[in-house]
Structure 1
């Protein structure tokens, strides 16, 4: 891969060099900023008709829709579709995919992330982020296959794909070190480059863009749905993410207690912790203490999708875990952390 260079020489892609340009929309504020920057660049290059959008749905682990104060607020999947549409991408070029698995009866069923964790035997870590690889990246790659199969014979060369992400450098050390423009895959069928157009943007710039353009942001960012105060979750990833800040983890445990309890059940059975520094069981207890962030809204999670996940989760925990030998075992769950760590 080191000998393979990006399609456009230099540090920034020329969008006219690509056959497929795909904005990855999580439904979060950063991805909306990315889509804004992407469409500005695509329109300037005269290739807006080559832009697609993609959302990898993680099912019950995603922030869902909620009705609060008589108003319904969108789920992240719904907001991703809205972000795509309002940026000018036709509905047929917005792709939403969910990881699927054999249902044992000759068909397919959604494969939710927590059931996968239970079968795997270990939670995600920085060195084993299978949630990103298997539940997002592989889904996006396969979603482009039909268009690549159509274009490849016409072009007579590998199809050039530009994968566009809303990652910002100030979010983590890993993201700050990531190249803004690089090659991530190249073979006889496709050449895939990755571009991070908002890598240097600050959180304040992202929020200012939403205010200037009157873009809707997901309710999880606010202290309660409709508050429009940005005092809720700092990031809009999974409602419980092992990479989240301590405050976000506590807020997620309060806002979705049944998800938190399901994660704690996996911890108990598998002997691993949700995060390397603290268990979900501890986070649940801490979230109920004075000084913990107020949830603003509590989601019941009583629908059929959640019920199906719990049924599969109970089944998964009865199976022998994979426990891959190269995956190191986490430290045992720690005792309750002091309240000052809130």
Structure 2
């Protein structure tokens, strides 16, 4: 396979975790939220796969979160994948969306109950694995490398994750064996941004508006400052959250309700912030 333009434009900075034998896998699936960490992980994988001459086995998978995502995220995921000459597959939860799931459960996701990740990302990803293995048509269990942009710096829990290991929940005896690889596990936030800027591949402008993470625009697991900033940038969505909060009778977090976040957002809003006028940001603001 010839090198893709983006993968060959510069030498590959050595990733800080050991690269597995990519040629030993029938498919390499890079999970992309189009956020900074999955973008950096994609950059590492593209260079490693290009070096191992297995770019044709790499697929970028985006789990679409619907209207909870920042504007333009699926389109940006496609642009990022295209920069490396890689295909993008988009999958979405087949049943109701996350807000419906929260309403049905009567509680918000938390660090101890991350059912949002399972329902919105892990389940669609595993359904795609099933479909892809069927398309491969192998006479043996397929070997799949599942790539995630998790980093040790994010939390104590994520710091305990092995950088490479089997995923029993995604594997089965007869159809597939799945390993999970965390190629940027040891990178700091500054190193992630350095890699992104060096790559020349565009990032989402939500970061330029002060957000430190992408994922759901308003995430119960995010830092307080990110929740408040998201309320300023997406007030309509924040008010939808407030209606749901009233319906289930439970605040977004034990010590922080959306009502509190909206009040804090209004108090700290700059003249150009959307909450001042109650309008969504213009579509052009989210270009890359």
TM-score, structure 2 as length reference: 0.85
Please tell me whether residue 202 in structure 1 is matched to residue 199 in structure 2. no
Give the CA deviation at 1:82.
Answer: 0.8
CA distance in structure 2 between the partners assigned to 1:136 and 1:54 by the alignment: 10
SS of residue in 2 equivalent to 1:157:
coil
Counterpart for residue 151 of structure 2? 168
Q: CA contact under 8 A between 1:247 and 1:293: conserved in structure 2? A: no
1:280-299 equivalences under 5 Å are 280-290=258-268, 296-297=273-274
The answer for the alignment partner of 1:17 in structure 2 is: 24
Q: CA deviation at 1:125?
A: 1.2
Figure out how many residues of one structure are paired with residues of the other and give that number: 260
- Residue 127 of structure 1 aligns with which residue? 112
Q: Secondary structure at the match of 1:126?
A: coil
Counterpart Cα distance in 1 of 2:41 and 2:271: 30
Residue 257 of structure 2 corresponds to residue 279 of structure 1: yes
**SS state at 2:180 partner:** strand
| 3-state DSSP of counterpart to 2:56 | helix
TM-score, length-scaled by structure 1: 0.72
- Find the counterpart in structure 1 of residue 197 from structure 2: 211
Distance of aligned partners of 1:129 and 1:31 in 2 relative to their CA distance in 1, 3 Å threshold: same
User: Is the 2:22–2:49 Cα contact (8 Å) retained in structure 1?
Assistant: yes
Change (3 A) 1:266 1:173: same
- For the 8 Å contact 1:180–1:196, the answer to whether it is kept is yes
Superimposed CA distance per residue, residues 18-60 of structure 1 (whole angstroms, 9 cap, x where no aligned partner): 0010111101111111111001111111211100010001101
The answer for the alignment partner of 2:7 in structure 1 is none
The 1:294–1:33 alpha-carbon spacing in structure 2 relative to 1, beyond 3 Å, is: farther
Residues 254 and 295, structure 1, Cα contact 8 Å, conserved in 2: no
Q: Tell me the residue number matched to 2:34.
A: 27
Q: Does 1:95 align with 2:73?
A: no
CA distance in 1, matches of 2:179, 2:274: 40
Q: Which residue of 2 aligns with 1:37?
A: 44
Which whole-Å CA distance do the structure 2 matches of 1:239 and 1:147 have between them?
A: 30
Say whether 1:260 aligns with 2:252: no
Q: 1:145 aligns with which of 115, 130, 152?
A: 130
SS at structure 2 position matched to 1:234: coil
Which stretches in structure 2 are left out of the alignment for 5+ residues? 1-16, 282-288
- Secondary structure (helix, strand or coil) at the match of 2:226 reads helix
Equivalent residue for 1:76? 73
Query: Following the alignment from structure 2 to structure 1, what is the Cα–Cα distance between the partners of residues 188 and 274?
Result: 28
Taking structure 1 as reference, are residues 11 and 221 closer, same or farther at Cα in structure 2, changes over 3 Å only? closer
Root mean square deviation, CA, Å:
2.0
